[in-house]
Chains A and B, each alone.
Chain A
Amino acid sequence: MAQLDNIIHQPVRLQIMSSLVALDPGEQVDFVHLRKILNLTDGNLGAHLTRLEEAGYIKIEKTFIARKPRTFISVTGRGRDAFDEHIVALEKIIQGRTNQ
């Protein structure tokens, strides 16, 4: 039975996951670009990304491109599954089959 996910349901983390699952599998979004899309501060985004990474929902990759440090973020398979389950749980609430 699908359950609401406490980690994902937090508003900022929900925003992050919503953006990341919109990417095609295999795509990673740049930290700066994600920050702009979500209109968050560096610290706020960083803290929530760490929480999601600890849960195994996202992967953070630090690299250098043209000698500049870049951080790329992607959703993991586990993260996609957890997000899908969260959506199903929300849909069930809407349909009146509450399972909180």
Chain B
Amino acid sequence: MDVTKQEAEATLEQIQALANHTRRAIASKYTSPLLILWGLVFTVAYLGTHFFVARAFHIWMVLDAIGLIGTFFICWQQLRSASPIKVSPAEKMGWRMFWFWTLLFVYIFIWLNIMAPVKAVQMNAFMVTAVMFASVAKGLWLRSSFMVWFGLAVTAITLFGLYLVPRTYYCLWMAVMAGGAFLASGLYLRLRWR
């Protein structure tokens, strides 16, 4: 078989590109519905907090619970039928995703208790940026530039809202910009990899 140096280089590049493409395509199948779900949860919760600030605690409790139940349901559904990959029981990606995010929220709760007392806005910004840090780390791990940029963009949106937007409009800003970023990203992934 005659293969030139240039052909060998091109082949190796093609192999690397396809490997990355495959990882991203599979990861997006899991990520897209979760981004849409949490985009809806965040948008409604922030809007609720903006307009009914006295009920903010209950709004977030209820919507976070809906988000967690929805996350569990999506992971369960993906394992049952919609999953593009089948894995051995010990390595089920859906469950790994579920436990990853569940543990992250447990740790966020622990960190917030360690740092208490913090203002509600600071607490919220901390939670969002912690989740976005996880997104960036996962993106680097999966070699998904989308997840890295998504994480960095929402972090920037949050910091802008925290430091530059008047406090009375922080929730409105986050509803539109952060919730919107989740929804737009989820829809983009769904259309991109359909």
Contact = CB atoms under 8 A, between A and B. Distances in A.
Contact of A23 (B1, B8, B22, B81): B22
A9 interface: yes
Contacts of B25: 33, 36-37
B129 interface: no
Contacts of B9: 94
B28 to A, nearest CB: 11
Given A14-B15, A19-B18, A87-B12, A26 B88 contact: yes
B109 to A, nearest CB: 30
B84 A29 contact: yes
Interface of B: 1-5, 8-9, 11-12, 14-15, 18-23, 25-26, 29, 80-81, 83-88, 91, 93, 193
Contact of A94 (B8, B14, B22, B83): B8
Contacts of A66: 80-81
A91 B22 contact: no
A26 B87 contact: yes
Contacts of A94: 5, 8-9, 12
Interface string A18-37: 11011110111110110011
A27 B87 contact: yes
Interface in A41-100: 65-66, 68, 72, 87, 90-91, 93-94, 96, 100
A30 B84 contact: yes
A37 B91 contact: no
A8 B138 CA distance: 31
B80 A65 contact: yes
A68 B2 CA distance: 45
Given A9-B3, A22-B23, A29-B22, 16 more contacts: A15-B18, A19-B21, A21-B19, A24-B91, A26-B88, A26-B91, A29-B84, A30-B84, A33-B25, A33-B85, A36-B25, A37-B22, A65-B81, A90-B8, A94-B5, A94-B12
